[in-house]
Amino acid sequence: MLPGVVVLVSDQPNRSAALAEALRGVGRCELVGPDVNWSARETAIAVVTDLDLTRPAAMQCLLGLRTQPWAETCPLLCIAHRTSDKALRQAQVLGASACLPYYAEPHIVVTALLNLINPDEGSLNATVRQCAERAGAALTGLFATAGTNGRVDLQAIDTCVDPLLLALSDGGLSRWLNTIRAHDNATYQHSLVVAGLAAQFATHIGFPEAQRQRLVRAALVHDVGKARIPRDLLLKRGSLDAAEAAIMRTHAILGYEILRASGGADPAMLDAVRHHHEMLDGSGYPDGISGDAISDVVRFLTICDIYAALTERRSYKPAMTPDEAMGILQGMQGRIETRFVQAFGKAVARAA
């Protein structure tokens, strides 16, 4: 535990109680309201806000914080109750060092805060974090150009593959997943989580280096078609209706078309992007292929994709535990490759 006080600002103490308890693992945590008198405080090692920053009281609170001399070196982590680009920009204007979505688990908030307080503590943590940031930046650029131009330059993705494999080898899967889930840009977390799982899976099975690289490369871009899906649909709180789900499912073909038009994508990547939602019994999409028509690369990636989705918390669902997610995968016999599920379970358990 660090010396000093972590100030948690919340307008609903009951909602923030679990977060306050988790932050007590960082330092002494004080839970205060948005009417806190900052001028009566000499310092803090960090400030965390659990507020809707679009409300006047919250904005006034953070403007008051910025007037304090000690606030210049004090990390400010904001829990974003609105995840629009406008809301995130506003948080940055108000001095936020980082933002996490309101549904982030308390331990993820703690990891993010420790990264802000001690950004260079430990070369291993720094290496994993730098790799995550580099991959996140590459995906940000990839999605931006895919959304506007319908084409991408895969060179930035290629430069992330070897550092990612090295980060996983040195730091382990758990460190990678915690770092990714503490990142302040939730949009690309899923692809980075899937890539980490794919790397762990491939290493456990004993894939040659070239095959591991191809699998991780495919994992990083498997959802690139979502760049052409309306943003309000991607950020919708709650389940999708039938019409919305049909639109969402087009991301597989859209991604395939983007990569084919761009050039530089190997056959395994094109296959993975188009078919990672196919099922062995033919019940998947977009082509309804089955059995031997589904490659091993797709079978591997599909398992990683499903597991990642199950263990990620979203606004409309809690995160499953690893055991619960493995139970779901094991119950999908006939739809996904059973022997690969067993191997994946051992790979994840070994990394725990």
pLDDT band at 275 (very low <50, low <70, confident <90, very high): very high
pLDDT at position 295, please?
96
Calpha distance 30→20 (Å, rounded) = 8
pLDDT at position 191, please?
93
DSSP 228-254: GS-HHHHT-SS---HHHHHHHHTHHHH
pLDDT at position 122, please?
46
In 3D space, the residue among 241, 257, 248 whose CA is nearest the CA of residue 277 turns out to be 248
Per-residue DSSP letter, 4: S
pLDDT at position 140, please?
86
Residue 252 buriedness (CB in 10 A; 0-12 / 13-18 / 19+): buried
Given a cut of 70, whether residue 183 has pLDDT beyond it is no
- Taken in order of first residue, the domains within the chain and their CATH numbers are 5-117 (3.40.50.2300), 123-351 (1.10.3210.10)
Bridge partners of 278? none
Check if the beta carbon of residue 132 is closer than 8 Å to that of residue 176: yes
pLDDT band at 274 (very low <50, low <70, confident <90, very high): very high
Residue 351: helix, strand or coil by DSSP? helix
pTM reported for the whole predicted model: 0.74
* Mean pLDDT comparison of 71-85, 118-132, 324-338, highest-scoring range: 324-338
Given a cut of 90, whether residue 337 has pLDDT beyond it is yes
Calpha distance 115→129 (Å, rounded) = 9
Given a cut of 80, whether residue 157 has pLDDT beyond it is yes
Bridge partners of 79? 50, 100
